[in-house]
Amino acid sequence: MAESMPDSRSGDPGSKASVGRRVPAGAPEQTLPKIIIVTGTPGVGKTAVGKLIAKRIGSEFLSLGDLVKTQGLHKGFDRRARSYMINERAVEWMLKGYLKDHREKRIVFETHSFNSILHKTHGMVAVVLRLDPPVLIRRLKGRNWPKLKIWENVEAELIDLSLYDSLKVLGKRRVYEIDATAKSPGNLVREILIVLHNGKGWSMKSLPNWLGKYDPVLLSRRIL
Ligand SMILES: Nc1ncnc2c1ncn2[C@@H]1O[C@H](COP(=O)(O)OP(=O)(O)O)[C@@H](O)[C@H]1O
Ligand SMILES: [Mg+2]
């Protein structure tokens, strides 16, 4: 894992300098990828930010969670985990068909994991939202989830799980990591559109390195 923090270098997508820059004039949307997957640990802000990106670029917004519920793409509700057990095969087929039918359209798709339901497709990128773990703990406590479920998700954030899933499926050039901590959804959308427009992809320097900042045992004591 990388040692550096994201804001320490010039030109970094998370730096104040780049946030202030504007997407160049002249229909920047045309340079954006066709399929923008907004991913990350539950609670990082995927729905809030994903919907706003879709609104800003005039594209459709799809949420894996909503699809699973509204189209019954699950194998029942796990009462202990308080979540639906996703029917991955059904979701995979549905998405494949959807992307085929909407080939010409741009889409923003929110999902907390996608390595078993989406395959690398032309024009697909992932935006991985990251959130400072104590902030994530506060947000997840607000959901009244079981303690263990909160801890499992905070642990996933600590070890960069969504990032590594994204890199595994799409590779560095199609993955963008954004630290969402202490930024409004509107500012995040601006930052995301700039990095997507620049098209440089992920590098080790953009890792937030939560494990360098927090002791997991001390963090777990705030939850368990
Ligand atoms: N950038 C942000 N700043 C402050 N609060 C946010 C931000 N993004 C999301 N939230 C809030 O955090 C909670 C979780 O956001 P949500 O978009 O549902 O996360 P996810 O879809 O990743 O589970 C919501 O209450 C939302 O209003
Ligand atoms: Mg969501």
Query: Taking 50 as the threshold, does the pLDDT of residue 192 lie above it?
Result: yes
Q: Which residues contact 166 (CB under 8 A, 6 or more apart)?
A: 37, 39, 114, 126, 128, 175
How far CA 120 is from CA of 33, 35, 115, 127, in Å, comes to 13, 10, 9, 14
CA within 13 Å, CB half, 18: 21
Ligand 1 neighbours (beta carbon < 6 A)? 40, 42-48, 139, 180, 183-185, 188
pLDDT digits (tens, 9 = 90+) for 90-144: 999 999 999 999 988 999 999 998 888 988 999 999 999 999 999 999 999 999 8
Amino acid at 40: G
pLDDT digits (tens, 9 = 90+) for 37-58: 999 999 999 999 999 999 999 9
pTM score: 0.88
Ligand 1 atom nearest to 142, measured from its CA: 25
State the CATH architecture for 32-221: 3-Layer(aba) Sandwich (3.40)
Domain residues of the chain, as ranges? 32-221
Among all bound ligands, the one having the nearest atom to the CA of 67 is 2
* pLDDT band, residue 80 (cuts 50/70/90): confident
